[in-house]
Amino acid sequence: MINSFILFLGLLLLFIIGKVSFFAHGFIFILLFFFASMRKLSTFALIKKIKYFLFALIIIYPLTIPGELLFYYSFLSVSYEGIFMAIENLFRLINIFMLVMILMNILPRDFFIRFLIKICYPFTLIGVNIERLSSRIYLTFEYLEIFKKYKFTLSRISEDIIKQLESKNINKLNNKITIIRPEVIDYIWVIIFVISIISIQHLIL
C-alpha cells in the first residue's frame, strides 16, 4: 500500500513538473536535490550521465527560438527567449530524471515489474498475450540487473553485449515468473489518479 502511494505521488509530481513555471522548477530541484542527498544518491553523477541531452537543449533552444536578439552573426542568432526556455527545460529534464532516480531507489524492483504488467493488462482486450508480455518484462529487468554491473563503450557496444550474453552470468537469471492480474485496489488508484490529474489541470489553467 505504501509503495502504491509513493508511486502515486511520484507520478503526480511528474505531471506537475511538466506544467509549472521556471521558478517552481528551481524550488522542485532544491527539494529533490536534498531528498536525493538524504538517500545518498548523487545528483552530479546523474547529470553527468545525461550531459548530452542537456548540452543539446543548451544549443538548440537559443538558436531556434525567435525573440529579442542577444547575439547575431551571419546565419546564427541567439535570443533571450531561447536562453530562458533552454534553462527552463534544462531544469525540467533534470527534475524528471532526479525524480525517476529517487523512485527507483525507494521502490522495490518487484513492485515496478508488477506495476508495468498491470498497466499493460488492458492490452489483452486487443489480443495481447499477457503471459508472454509478463515473461518479457521479467527478463528485461533480469538482464538489466546483470548488465548494470558492467561498463559498455559506445564504439564497441555490440561486441560488449554479445560478450555478456555468452557469459555464465546469464545462467543466473531468475526463471520464476508469477502471473499478475490487476486487483480492485489497482482500479481505485487509477480512478483517484485520473481525478487528481484533472483537478490539477484545472487549477493550473
The residue written with cell numbers 542568432 in the block is 77
Render 27-55 in DSSP notation, one character per residue. HHHHHHHHHHHHTT--HHHHHHHTHHHHH
Best CA proximity match to 5, nearest among 111, 96, 133, 91? 111
pLDDT in tens, 59-71: 888 877 777 777 6
pLDDT tier at 89, thresholds 50, 70, 90 = confident
The residue written with cell numbers 498497466 in the block is 119
pLDDT in tens, 165-189: 555 555 555 555 566 777 788 778 8
**What are the cell numbers at 201?**
489541470
pLDDT in tens, 27-53: 889 999 998 898 888 888 888 888 888
Mean pLDDT of the chain: 77
pLDDT tier at 108, thresholds 50, 70, 90 = confident
Best CA proximity match to 173, nearest among 139, 137, 134? 139
Find out whether 146 and 133 touch, Cβ atoms under 8 Å. Answer: no
Residue extents of the structural domains in the chain: 1-107, 108-205
Best CA proximity match to 204, nearest among 4, 9, 24? 24
CB atoms within 10 A of CB 45: 9
Distance CA 98, CA 102 (A): 6
